Amino acid sequence: MKKVILFCMYLIIFGIYIFTQETYSQMINKWEIVDSTNSKYFSYYTNKDNISGYDKNSIAVIGGKINLMNYYKNIYTIRLYENMGASSKVIFQDAQETSHRLLSIAHPSDSLIVVVGDSCEYQGVYPEKPPSQTWYKFWSLLMVSTDKGNSWQRKILDSNQSNISISMCDNMNGIIYQKSEINYFYQEIQKKDSLLITNNGWSSYRSITLPNDIGFIYQCYILKENHFFLRGSNYIYYSLNGGQNWIKTSEVQDYIMDMEIIDDRTFYIVSNFKPYPKTPFTNFYVSNFYKTSDAGETWIECKEFFKNSPKYSLVYCIDFYDKFNGIATFSSDIMLKTTDGGDTWTNEYIPYIFEAGTFNSTRSPYYPNEDFCFVTGEKNYTFVYRGEKILSKPKFIEKINRINQSTKEFKIEWEAVNGASGYKLKIDTVYRNGNLYKSEFENPWMSLVVFDRNFYLGELDYNTFYVFWLKAINNNLESDWSNYEIFTVDSNGYFSPEIIEPYYRERISNSTVTIKWNKVVPVERYKIEIFNSVNDDFISKIVTDTTYSLENLIPSAYYLITLASYYGNSLLKNTTSYFKTETVLNVDNKKNDEFGNAINIFPNPVDEKCNIIINSNFKSFGILKIYNLLGELIQRKEILLKENNNGFQINTENFAPGIYFVEIINSNDIKRGMFIKQ
């Protein structure tokens, strides 16, 4: 009887625990605009190389008017942000257009700032007839300030060389990757890329020649003295003995955008992959996060990153302040944050900016501790998080065919935000042939406060954009504005179908998938086309139903679906979606979870030790967490989940009597259990 009562208590408390977790998730980090100076934050090779911080009170950022091709038109500015971003000052600025590139910066101590790049001499455009190329001669450049940017020592080092990237692990030890460059009059140069190494803060340095087969390097990193890491396009080269010997990790199929070196064996990378290079969708990319704990012999993909990445965006950078806590930036106003080494990710949002013609995305992060993060935007803006929370932004409920809505009794809906007492709603309209950015945010067509989760607009006008802005409010807190949603109404009624299943970016574990979409009236037929990333197989079918079954799926493949409406002989608008198959596919089409059955914990109640048993269908890394009834983390350990049954023993001798919750997290799933300490 006692165990029955305890079990009932567990059900109640576990429900409260889950509810509390969901409620807390409605509070998100508050990001603020630090600076809106007219500046472009861009690096030619690695976005993160244009930012470096000594701590949260001293962050150096390279920006300015930067030209992608005409280097002689560059005007650079280096700005130092202090007091957690509350104040800033310019510590370097070109007085006029200058033919140089500032490519990478290091700020390893309070007073030392080092910048590398190249000085360029414009040679012209040759040949004069297309295909032509703009030519420069390069000299490697080193700029050093030992007084926090008050004065600079500028050094021109070597001709036909460019200093691409710098990294320093302290104020004495650092490395620079130096790349060989050709010019129009000196094109038959033997490639001799080098690594410049200092042990005295660049008062002097030595140079070592890198192996010829090392390929093009985009980024260098020094973990500690003599421990060097170089990022190539799809691999990492590293040396643990000062460059005497180099080891190449296994390659990933993706193009690596950034790396984070945790220790000599633990590396994280983010990458973008072009799954369909031989299709009309050559600019379609997928973003991924990989990690290794064996120095790159094997890479583990973290699937939650793939699932949660902003739609239609490229990942740019990552930054971690320890092995668990990190942030990722994208070509989007949404970032991703992890607290468990990349196994799970949550959204972070930069402030909503309403400015004519402006779309801002995040670029370069600096994340030194839990309560502070600094990020540059693509242009004009920098952002900061200082540990404050706000209400979560309301999320609009997507409409099927939201760009072609009926004109009758239109209703806009959104998900509830816990803690909100109401919602501020703004609505404006723009004609189809007008300019969308002329919508009025400050003086909209309609502005009101609503206390429900929907609003009826009644009958809509034909051929009109309807623009919506929404924020959650209560007496003490409010959210940021949601990104505006656009709904258009088309008078002819012909529009593309919406792919309902599989959902966008879904992971498919079966060898067969059924593609489903909504019926479009009065459309008679649909054209479905399917590409995959592994071979040249291509499916193109005309169907009258609203489903299509695809069999014999290829493991570890991306599938791109395009779907269009046919009416008469006219091919109307189309829509696209994609999914990825798992490494192992289930032929009997049952759900193939990475985790098998739920957690089995025994004995329960427990005295001094308990055993935790979980089944896994795949080998993967995982995190085991134990919380008390207050939600406090009591124990955390990294685990390796082998295929089939896994057993872990927990010493509970020093646990206080009470109820404890267990979570086991891997890259694709979370399983929960509970035990009682007597």
Query: pLDDT for 150-174, tens place per residue?
Result: 999 999 999 999 999 999 999 999 9
Do 229 and 210 belong to one domain?
yes
pLDDT exceeds 50 at position 591:
no
Residue 673 lies in a domain: yes
What is the per-residue pLDDT across 557-585, written as a single tens digit (0 to 9) for each? 889 998 888 777 666 667 888 898 988 78
Give the pLDDT score at 14: 47
Last residue of a domain, one of 429, 458, 488: 488
Q: Phi then psi for 189, rounded to 5 degrees?
A: -95, 140
Burial bucket for residue 53 (CB in 10 Å: 0-12, 13-18, 19+)? buried
In CATH, what number is assigned to the domain containing residue 78? Answer: 2.130.10.10
Task: Report whether pLDDT(21) > 50.
Answer: no
Most confidently predicted of 299-303, 315-319, 604-608, 659-663? 315-319
Query: Residue 460 belongs to what domain range?
Result: 410-488
Same domain, 632 and 525: no
Give, for 221, the enclosing helix (H) or strand (E): strand 219-224
Q: What pTM does this model have?
A: 0.80
| CATH code for the domain in which residue 628 is found | 2.60.40.2550
Same domain, 474 and 509: no
Asked whether residue 514 falls in the same domain as residue 482, the answer is: no
457 and 479 share a domain? yes
Q: The domain spanning residue 448 has which CATH number?
A: 2.60.40
Structural domain ending residue among the three candidates 586, 610, 638: 586
User: Quick check: is 23 in a domain?
Assistant: no
Q: Is residue 392 predicted with pLDDT exceeding 80?
A: yes
Q: Say how far apart CA 116 and CA 1 lie, in whole Å.
A: 73
Q: How far apart, in whole angstroms, are the C-alpha atoms of residue 262 and residue 258?
A: 13
**Widest CA span in the chain:** 92
pLDDT in tens, 507-563: 888 889 999 888 877 777 889 999 888 887 889 999 988 899 999 999 988 899 988
User: Given 468, 488, 508, which residue is the final one in a domain?
Assistant: 488
Query: Distance between CA atoms of 505 and 578, rounded to whole angstroms?
Result: 6
Tokens 């691409």 found at: 164
Instruction: Please return the burial class of 255, using the count of CB atoms within 10 Å of its CB with bins 0-12, 13-18 and 19+.
Output: middle
- Tell me the mean pLDDT in the region 380-391: 93
Is 110 found in the same domain as 151?
A: yes
pLDDT tens-digit map of 358-377: 567 899 999 999 999 999 98
User: What is the average pLDDT across 408-426?
Assistant: 87
For 28-79, what is each residue's pLDDT tens digit?
899 999 998 888 887 888 889 999 999 999 999 999 988 888 888 899 999 9
Do 233 and 88 sit in the same domain of this protein? yes
Q: Is residue 556 assigned to a domain?
A: yes
Instruction: Evaluate whether 152 touches 161 at the Cβ level (below 8 Å).
Output: no
587 confidence band (pLDDT: 50, 70, 90)? low
Same domain, 103 and 240: yes
- Going across the sheet that includes 513-517, the strands are 499-501, 513-517, 547-550
For the chain, percent of residues with pLDDT exceeding 90: 43
Q: What's the confidence (pLDDT) of residue 61? A: 96
DSSP state of 556: T
106 & 237 share domain: yes
**Residue 26 placed within a domain:** no
Residue whose token pair is 């003295």 = 225
Same domain, yes or no: 599 and 581: no
Would you say residue 164 lies in a domain? yes
Q: Within this chain, do residues 597 and 575 fall inside the same structural domain, yes or no?
A: no
List the structure tokens of 171.
């104020």
603 φ/ψ angles, rounded to the nearest 5 degrees: -65, 160
Q: What is the mean pLDDT of the segment spanning 319-332?
A: 95
Could you tell me the pLDDT band of residue 218, with boundaries at 50, 70 and 90?
very high
Chain segment 105-135, per-residue pLDDT in tens? 999 999 999 999 999 998 988 887 677 888 9
Query: For the chain, what percent of residues have pLDDT higher than 70?
Result: 85
Please tell me whether residue 3 adopts helix, strand or coil conformation. helix
Whether residue 650 is contained in a domain is answered as yes
14: its two tokens: 């576990």
Please give the full DSSP string across 94-110, using - where no structure is assigned: -SS--SEEEEEEE--SS
Considering only residues 620 and 227, tell me which one the structure prediction assigns the higher pLDDT.
Answer: 227
**How much is the mean pLDDT over the chain?**
85
pLDDT over 80 at 437, yes or no: no
Q: What is the pLDDT of residue 593?
A: 43
Residues 576 and 647 in one domain: no
- φ/ψ of residue 239, rounded to 5: -135, 135
> Does residue 429 fall inside a structural domain?
yes
Q: Is residue 317 part of a domain?
A: no
Residue with tokens 């608008």: 573
Q: How many domains does the structure of the chain reveal?
A: 4
Alpha carbon distance 675, 13 (integer Å): 12
Backbone angles phi, psi at 24, to 5 degrees: -60, -30
The CATH number of whichever domain residue 527 belongs to comes to 2.60.40.10
Phi, psi for 71 (deg, rounded to 5): -60, -25
